Amino acid sequence: MFNRPRMHRSRPPLPGSASRRTVLWPFVISLTVVLMVSAVKQEDFKTCAQSGFCTRNRAYAELASGTPDWESPFRLDPTSLQLEDGVLTGDLIHAPTSSSSSAESGGALNAGYTIEVHLLDSDAVRVRMNERDPKRRRYDGLQKSVLVKPLVSSTQYDQLGRDEDGLFTINYGSRRQNSARIRFAPFQIEFLADGVSTLVLNEGGLLKIEAAQVWSDVADTRTRTPMERRLEQGMWSERFKDIIDTKPRGPESFGLDITFPDIEDVYGIPEHASSLSLKTTRGPGAQYNEPYRLYNLDVFEYEIDSPMALYGSIPFMLGHSKDKTAGVFWMNAAETWIDIEKIESTSGSSRRTTRTHWYSEAGVLDLFVFLGPTHRDIFKQYSSLVGTTALPQSFSIGYHQCRWNYISQKDVIEVDAGFETHEIPYDVLWLDIEHTNGKRYFTWDPKQFPDPFDMQLHLANKGRKMVTIIDPHIKMDRGYHISKEATDKSLFVMNNHLKPFDGWCWPGSSQWIDFENPRAKDWWASQFSYDRYKGSTNTLFTWNDMNEPSVFTGPEITLPKDAMHYNRVEHRSIHNIYGAMFHAATAQGLSTRNETLQRPFVLSRAFFAGSQRYGSVWTGDNKASWEHFEVAAPMLLTIGLAGLPFSGADVGGFFGDPEPELLTRWYQAGAFYPFFRAHAHLDSKRREPWLFGEPYTSQIRAAIRTRYSLLPFWYTLFQEASMDGVPIIRPMFFEFPSDEATYRMEDQFMVGEALLVKPVTTAGATQSEVYFAGNEKWFEFYDGQVKQGPGVQSVSSPAYKIPVYQRAGTIVPKRETPRRSSKEMENDPFTLVVALDSKGEAYGRLYLDDGESYEYSRGDYILREFKVQGSVLTSRSLNRQESETEWSFIRRYSSLKVERIVFQGLSEPVSRVVIDGRPTVVESWHDVAGKQHVVIVSRANLSIGQDWSVSLS
């Protein structure tokens, strides 16, 4: 949903004479101007030069690089160090040497800082730095919303003390495989994995902490050099487009450089419409002029190939090279910018070193370092802190049909009927803001949606669901129960005068719920109970939009930074997590509304680290263009690498009208996004899948049916992600971590470890270049044609399909009968598609549960392992406990059948297939071109819940 409508219906009436706010006029003008343009308005958003703390920290970095023999002015006091119960503490002293003395401007500097290094039981290390006696306490309340559980210190470490180089070393980890080497002056921490330097803090000497100070501390009259002026820019207030950020707390930013020695590729820090392997923003030949920015914003029709901030922020970065991997999580929800530079290695390696420089506007310096040793271990370590993806409702991995707007109940019934007529499966029909009574969420337009129960029942009868939009801006209206209650309970965000903040959004004058207030979450959640949300049923789910939050009249279209939350927390300190707190409260509401706990489904536009615990996200308001389609893949891969696997991009593009070929190609790729939804702007032409005629309808139908045939595989991947925190769609390098050719590959990806997908993102293309990694075979998904890796090959990609290949050594579970919805497939038999590797082996899994409750967490699920070894396919249970009789799901479904088994990649002809002792008739043939034999068992009649074997000879 974009925020500056170009049509009349949704446009909020402009503020009238009632406005008391002097700042309103400029907005009225800028709103009007925006109505006439269609591309991103760059000037609505700050550049680094327009942001005080960004300028100050970047100027500091320039000062450092322009100063010969620059040394960090921070040193650690050796006499202060203490290591107890896995926590090292010490005093950091800011003591400028001559080389750094000119950095002394920028006000009085507190000389005393503390450092804590926590060795954690997950093998992660937490490093915190703060002022010792701050004049103003910094916001340090993030962990309650971000971390899933209290951290546990490790007992697995040895303190080696100071060595002859004066370094203080701690070895840690279960094998003591990791070390932290601390240098006192200038202060630096180097992390080593198995003796190899892997991540270094403050190697570039850019650590800077702006000590809280009062105005009088710095109100001297010295004349400043240009550099000094930049080092002090915007410390006490800052104006952007006629809105003044009053900064009552003064400057409190901090920055630090984090170096990945001999690692050329770093990934993560979504959300940006940029490449998978992050680009350089500093140094000779920098690819971007601006740093990557993390600040949740409503940026419409966003620019491609840009480090500009978008809707979500996850300050997690992964560095990966052939022989080492490291991760860092910068736990801060204030505005953050990250510079990236590639410098020559100092170790003599031929690879360059990546140096990153992170700076945040407020809060405390609090980061986590993960050393793996493998990239998979890093995801386990990171997700043990911030949580893994919640196992979703199984319907939600089906196909979603959305548009701004399905305008009436009649429209809904007709669209639903179109799917029936054209035999296209779908699971969810979505209603955007127009379904409400005057943009009052939790209500229905009484004219257009007179009987929401009936409408939901109509869909539910076919196993389908509905989603309605619920946004965080609350219409100011005493007659609206949500507005009245929140006012009476003082649950709204305040302005800098501690009066309820009001701003402009869809409903006109609006207010925002303060989720920092501990009472707000439960109150908001309670609004989803069936009796409060009139017209809702247990098949109605939720979409949280505009939760950056988007405020049409606010600075950069969001809340002012000096707005106040509960307990005098400035919005500045928690901006990037606001949307995730809203998402969490909504998810809580959905899961607790029923007498039995149900899994929620909530889609959110804004996100932060940990949002995976609440539901799915999408990439916001993209455009119906080939470029936006193409950038969706690296964006989704990046979001997944930051621990949030359940994501999608609007299929077809939100703005504009896709030509039918683009729409079809997008469906073909979207069928392999974890979250698969088509969505369209109010001004765009209708584009339900059958509206373009043949051959498009058939091609789109085939794409959606492919998704449905693979739902068992997808659901199994979600279960794996919910255990290990691994992404569901994965960059090639994730599966082929030592193949350097994959490190920047972003135009093809893996789904789990089994399927390779190459979207076709060029108009008219019927041939695609696909990189087949590894030394094994790849089997074309639709016709079984064989490709042998490694290397790039040109393959055909006619209009009706995109390249999808199954990797040798894998087994993919499918359900092959098309149905209306995922619900209607739940009694269908399975097909196992086996792709043998050169050793004649393959492996796969299948996870099943009731798809909606939490009974699985008590053991009511089926988890099978399929394995081919020595010409025998076996199925065995991986359930943690075998207590089948007491569980309703297991009781009902363990006799579901595996009906068909396809064996590909056999090196010898097969003359006999024996299923649990019974010889069976099969189809088989010799594929001469593919140098393989294929065998298909079509009536296997094997129960999914039992152990069995199929032997080939």
Ligand X SMILES: *[C@@H]1O[C@H](CO)[C@@H](O)[C@H](O)[C@H]1NC(C)=O
Least distance between ligand X and beta carbon 391 (Å)? 16
Least distance between ligand X and beta carbon 538 (Å)? 4
Residue at 518: amino acid letter? P
Pairing of strands 932-937, 942-943: unpaired
Burial of 716 (C-beta count, 10 Å sphere; 0-12/13-18/19+): buried
Residue among 190, 252, 257, 548 flagged as catalytic: 548
Asked if residues 447 and 419 have their Cβ atoms less than 8 Å apart, the reply is: no
Least distance between ligand X and beta carbon 395 (Å)? 11
Least distance between ligand X and beta carbon 596 (Å)? 6
| Nearer of residues 97 and 943 to ligand X, judged by Cβ | 943
Least distance between ligand X and beta carbon 539 (Å)? 8
| Nearer of residues 22 and 461 to ligand X, judged by Cβ | 461
Terminal-residue alpha carbon distance, the chain: 59
| Nearer of residues 261 and 398 to ligand X, judged by Cβ | 398
Least distance between ligand X and beta carbon 593 (Å)? 8
Site string for ligand X, 850-889 (x = CB under 6 A): ----------------------------------------
The single-letter DSSP state of residue 389 is P
598-657 binders of ligand X (CB under 6 A) = 598
Pairing of strands 465-469, 540-544: parallel
Rounded Cα–Cα distance for residues 208 and 358 (Å):
10
Rounded Cα–Cα distance for residues 516 and 493 (Å):
9
| Nearer of residues 331 and 940 to ligand X, judged by Cβ | 940
Least distance between ligand X and beta carbon 889 (Å)? 13
Least distance between ligand X and beta carbon 363 (Å)? 41
| Nearer of residues 523 and 530 to ligand X, judged by Cβ | 530
3-class SS of residue 930: coil
Site string for ligand X, 576-595 (x = CB under 6 A): ------------------xx
Cα-flanking dihedrals φ and ψ of residue 483, to 5°?
-65, -45
| Nearer of residues 97 and 941 to ligand X, judged by Cβ | 941
Asked if residues 757 and 667 have their Cβ atoms less than 8 Å apart, the reply is: no
Site string for ligand X, 472-511 (x = CB under 6 A): ----------------------------------------
Q: Could you tell me the two tokens for 557?
A: 């279209």
| Nearer of residues 169 and 941 to ligand X, judged by Cβ | 941
Q: Could you tell me the two tokens for 186?
A: 């200038």
> How many residues are present in the chain?
953
Q: Taking Cα atoms as reference points, which of 655, 560, 473 lies closest to residue 27? A: 560
Least distance between ligand X and beta carbon 551 (Å)? 35
| Nearer of residues 561 and 599 to ligand X, judged by Cβ | 599
Is 545 labeled as catalytic in the residue annotation? yes
Residue at 584: amino acid letter? A
Residue at 390: amino acid letter? A
CB under 8 Å to 642, separation ≥6 — which residues? 268, 269, 270, 314, 316, 609
891-950 binders of ligand X (CB under 6 A) = 941, 943
Is 621 labeled as catalytic in the residue annotation? yes
CA atoms within 13 A on the CB side of 190: 16
| Nearer of residues 487 and 594 to ligand X, judged by Cβ | 594
| Nearer of residues 444 and 690 to ligand X, judged by Cβ | 444
Is 133 labeled as catalytic in the residue annotation? no
| Nearer of residues 924 and 941 to ligand X, judged by Cβ | 941
Asked if residues 191 and 369 have their Cβ atoms less than 8 Å apart, the reply is: yes
Burial of 685 (C-beta count, 10 Å sphere; 0-12/13-18/19+): exposed
Asked if residues 145 and 581 have their Cβ atoms less than 8 Å apart, the reply is: yes
Residue among 131, 545, 650, 747 flagged as catalytic: 545
Residue among 44, 123, 290, 621 flagged as catalytic: 621
529-548 binders of ligand X (CB under 6 A) = 530, 537-538
Nearest 5°: the CA angle 10, 11, 14 is 145
Site string for ligand X, 675-714 (x = CB under 6 A): ----------------------------------------
Least distance between ligand X and beta carbon 863 (Å)? 20
Rounded Cα–Cα distance for residues 780 and 761 (Å):
19
Nearest 5°: the CA angle 229, 233, 237 is 140
Q: Taking Cα atoms as reference points, which of 856, 313, 749, 402 lies closest to residue 603? A: 402
Enumerate the H helices of 593-710 as residue ranges.
Answer: 626-641, 660-670, 696-709
Q: Could you tell me the two tokens for 478?
A: 């005493």
Among the listed residues 216, 596, 738, 881, the single contact to ligand X using CB under 6 A: 596
Return the residue matching tokens 């990966």: 320
Q: Could you tell me the two tokens for 322?
A: 């052939």
CA atoms within 13 A on the CB side of 756: 28
3-class SS of residue 710: coil
Return the residue matching tokens 């493998």: 374
Rounded Cα–Cα distance for residues 139 and 684 (Å):
44
3-class SS of residue 796: strand
**Catalytic residue positions, numbered:** 545, 548, 621
Residues forming the site for ligand X (CB under 6 A): 530, 537-538, 594-596, 598, 941, 943
